[in-house]
Amino acid sequence: MKIAVLPGDGIGTEIVAEAVKVLEVLDLNFEMESALVGGAAYEAHGHPLPEATLKLAKDSDAILFGAVGDWKYDKLDRPLRPEQAILGLRKNLGLFANFRPAICYEQLVDASSLKPELIAGLDILIIRELTGDIYFGQPRGRRTAVDGHFPGAEEAFDTMRYSRPEIERIARVAFEAARKRGKKVTSVDKANVLETFQFWKDVVIDVHKDYQDVELEHMYVDNAAMQLVKKPKAFDVIVTGNMFGDILSDEASMLTGSIGMLPSASLNSSNQGLYEPSHGSAPDIAGKGVANPLATILSAAMMLRFSLNQDESAKRIEAAVQKVLEQGLRTPDIYSEGTTKVGTSQMGDAVVKALSAQ
Ligand code: NAD
């Protein structure tokens, strides 16, 4: 088994170092190889996703990714910006299914802005289609309007589109995932307004015929945004398109209080995957040793489960994270009175210690 380790920029290097520590203590038989990505790769090689990094990613069973980006790159041409590295990896590896669990740990119930009773025990999974929709649909661009409200004016446009196979494969991923959990899928669409999402709904209903043991409900995206803060525990698995998923998964992540706790996985059809925390490179706290490494450590656990077939080890890491939370250890983002404030590497060391003590 081979893991490509791509720390990236900002806090990426700090948090990935902690996840690597945790993986090393498991004593599993895998090889880890690091490479530059994002702004760091642009500085060294003039491109955010150099050929060598892409080759390493393609040749690996899984990619452990930190985060990329810094405001100082905002003026670069779009293809050279750090974030393009993630898009390039998704595209080249065909990573079409994004898993974003939102789990509320009992010990962190007060970190949420919602009432504890609304989120205590929350465990939902958002599955977002990652390679289609309006983010990638062609044509797109700027032009002079020939019709609309202001003919002759400058305008910009994008194209929302989904093909049947694209919807079928993400729907299957969602139904399969729900089978292993609460057996309920909420398909989020905007079928009342968008042709693309009426089609989405029709195809999801077709695929559901193969999964009659799983309950299927449909919800418009505006209602889903409301229900997520009103009654989040009513959801089990949410499946949706690229743009709605982008927005709803960030909303769901905030239900739990800290983005520093949330892992994510992006998988292709052969279970090769990219595993990264749900947050960005946090340039505001980079280099200070205060970033929360738990989202990345939990992403490593997802990697063991989904791409490397090591479910037992994944459970061990998750139990070790529970343990350090029970011990009252908190990085500043999840700190509350009466707990013990620790830095990035102390938190990583504590997880390693909890693992070794199991
Ligand atoms: P961000 O997620 O980096 O940070 C948002 C806020 O959350 C900041 O206040 C930050 O300090 C805090 N935060 C994030 N992760 C944390 C952690 N582990 N521990 C403690 N606090 C944490 O989002 P942003 O500030 O909007 O973006 C910063 C850069 O990251 C931008 O260049 C953006 O493009 C990039 N970005 C990258 C990814 C990615 O690599 N997948 C995702 C989102 C944003």
User: Is 110 among the catalytic positions?
Assistant: no
Structure-token match 């939102």, residue found: 102
What pLDDT score does 160 carry?
A: 97
Distance CA 242, CA 227 (A): 19
Distance CA 347, CA 290 (A): 10
Q: Where residue 302 falls among pLDDT bands split at 50, 70, 90?
A: very high
User: Is 275 among the catalytic positions?
Assistant: no
pLDDT over threshold 90, residue 257: no
pLDDT over threshold 90, residue 186: yes
334 C-beta closer than 6 A to ligand 1: no
CA dist 107 to 327, 335, 343, Å?
A: 10, 11, 18
What pLDDT score does 27 carry?
A: 82
In CATH terms, the superfamily for domain 98-261 is: Isopropylmalate Dehydrogenase (3.40.718.10)
Q: Where residue 180 falls among pLDDT bands split at 50, 70, 90?
A: confident
**How big is the chain, counted in residues?**
358
User: Is 135 among the catalytic positions?
Assistant: yes
Q: Where residue 304 falls among pLDDT bands split at 50, 70, 90?
A: very high
Output the CA torsion sign for 98, 310, 15, 330.
positive
Distance CA 197, CA 160 (A): 9
Report, as an integer, the average pLDDT of 244-268: 90
C-beta of residue 170 within 8 angstroms of C-beta of residue 245: no
Report, as an integer, the average pLDDT of 180-201: 97
What pLDDT score does 253 carry?
A: 83
Domain at 1-96+268-358: CATH architecture: 3-Layer(aba) Sandwich (3.40)
pLDDT for 99-155, tens place per residue? Answer: 999 998 888 888 888 999 999 999 999 999 999 999 989 999 999 999 999 999 999
| CA-285 nearest atom, ligand 1 | 11
What residue owns the CA closest to ligand 1's atom 26?
Answer: 280
pLDDT for 53-84, tens place per residue? Answer: 999 999 999 999 999 999 999 999 999 999 99
- Residue percentage of the chain with pLDDT more than 90: 89
Q: What are the domain boundaries of the chain?
A: 1-96+268-358, 98-261
Tell me the one-letter amino acid at 340.
T
| CA-293 nearest atom, ligand 1 | 18
Is 98-261 in the same CATH topology as 1-96+268-358? yes
